[in-house]
Structure 1
């Protein structure tokens, strides 16, 4: 006959009571477990029963019914059974009080009753463990997501140690990153108040138990720190700590640090589940630390590259402009008496050029392009450079460039090409002793061709470049950065021509309004 909602079997009643106890270990729910235990014991012919449950994640429990109210002694006549899951995972202990006048057939009842209660506890523990594992995996997923993408070393270290303390449900946590020689590089804590941290003073140096974990590179789990000979060197004002779990942080076979957890909340020790959870988190944490370190290295390299770029830009732009002004002013004393108007004009032009240079420097500081070339299309920029060159050197120069420059090149190509032109003209001003120069820009469907020529002294291509002449090397590097090639045609007394060929990154013709698939 089927039972209704109010006619639950004792097994189901005990199972429901245990689940309620898991959710809320209150006195009322403990009494409910005792009542369900009594019904189940009575159904199996027992006069009373006592259950002591110690099976995390189920909360600890002591429940009794009938004639067994207190814990029986060692000499008790009561039936006693150690409960477990499959003979491996301990659950607790059960005592049953059976009638003294039971028949031989009733002798089978104690193991049957104990087995029925054990089955209910097994089911409750398995459900609780499943829910706990799901919660742990969700927490692990949230924690690993929290550290993913954090690229500042200090921030990711603090985030890791805070998250692992919550994940393992412990009172204190610390993280140490180590250098190649095993010395501690960073030491970050979680759970200590600011006053406690200040009272402790300097961070540890990797001796004692922390040093053992660094040297051994394997998990260490200790129930009581006071009983371990490796636990020494605690400074004054250090809070007392008992249970300990240490897990190395390893990535690609390298130890990048260690996690230290102490004082498991709600238990006297860290269990096997805690070990597995922290080890899984440590894998992600080690990768996050390694990524943050690599990012810092990239940032440092970027700073070095930026310094080199600044050096190149200062040489190619600002220094060349100032040098050209100096060249223009050299002749002022010679013409001042004979032609003061011409001298005044040269000085005014020099002042104008210096003002432009000052504005260029200001823009350069803020990471902008030089003002003369800011936003210019290629033809406009070339003409502006030619005018600046003519004013500062009094050398005749002509420019040939097709219209529609905005569509010829991408902005980054235009900026680099103009800087190449500025450096080339600076070389003409400094070394060529020319009276005429020219800039020619030609565009084909596949490439952009630029030539800069002068009628100056020229030089022997076979001769080694003079020390300090960085200009041609900078020009070659910039051209290579653009994916282009540079050719030099020069000979003593025949002037110099620089020819550049750059691939076009923008299509030669605009797409039509019709689309094809």
Structure 2
């Protein structure tokens, strides 16, 4: 056996120190590789939720902790989200509600700087743990910042090999910096995807409007899209109507939402209308109705966060697109309001483009309409009228030849009916949707009919001096009745055509009849619109009736005294 000589000054302890330094260097290299691996894993997340979960998992593994969590700081200063690792679902269920940012966790919220403790329960800010919570001793917490602002805090407890060290704190601080970048990237991607969804919705609305879809149908699509995009329980397009301070819903969307379309609302009956009146043309509404009694809400629902954006078109029309969530729901993120306002601005532009397109199309056919109207009036009506006069002139001779009188008078009556129908057609041909110089009831009823009928074939007939005797509030009611009745036909009747007849009977009453060739009355259909019509009639001392026609379809009859 050969022994190496030991020179003066050599000590066995020096070899041990060198071994310790080599071991320490190996551990440091191992931790550095772990930190680099953690960086790569955190940055690989694309979805924000997935990124947050990865951050917690990587942090727990990096410092050999038993438990870990990431608390996202909410707008109110508490924790809006809490992503945890190491506690199974059964234990979470026993604990109950997740931490709200109190005690040691709250200190990190109010003082966002690293916090390390050997015994969590002995810390001055400790408030203990709820029943069923696993015991935790050592603690390490560091803030996670995004663009210089605290996004949340990373919490680690129960290091498996003792207490957390200063080296652990440095590693987790470095990880938190990478986590902030990863969260920022994920949020940017999520924001971009959200903006793309809103842009796609605007493109769909524009395509529908410019493709000739009825504006009423597009309004329903608008409320459907906005409700889904904002994660809301309800969406309504509110517009002023009639007297100042009175609003109504032109379109709405929401599961189980009572149909309030066309129902006049005031500040006295609706907290939403009260807020709209107070806003007085404001661009964006951000409200919370959690403290409003439910009996003041028009639909008797318990609403909480509410967001609204104005929609103004070039012709001066005003509306507000409103979305709402039920009481106790999460408030809207601040990023939603500008997206909603951009959507309404783009929708207003699309409505303006569609209006100009409809006007251009109308101008192309007005010349033909005028020509047809002249031909009908100057040639067709005159010839039919002459035929009727001829029949009346030869009536005595026909009676002498044995032709029944009733048969001849029936033919004359049919000719009179044809003349009235042609005159109504002539009026329709001369009418334009934007003719502000013709405020007659026939003009308003025709607008209500064509605006609500969509693709249905329409016909309007008037009998008697409707323009002279039906005025003011009664004329507004007649117009509303036609609009509501035709809308019901469009939505529920599966009809091909609808005919509206407005008759003034002597000087006593006005009668509105709406006849369609659809499937008849559906027993399961909502009757809120029909109930509104009945209420209008009864308020005026009139009558209301809806009945199936023997030949198919439905006949709606609404009447009101003229005085």
Q: TM-score, normalised by structure 1?
A: 0.47
TM (norm. structure 2) is 0.44
- The structure that has the greater radius of gyration is 1
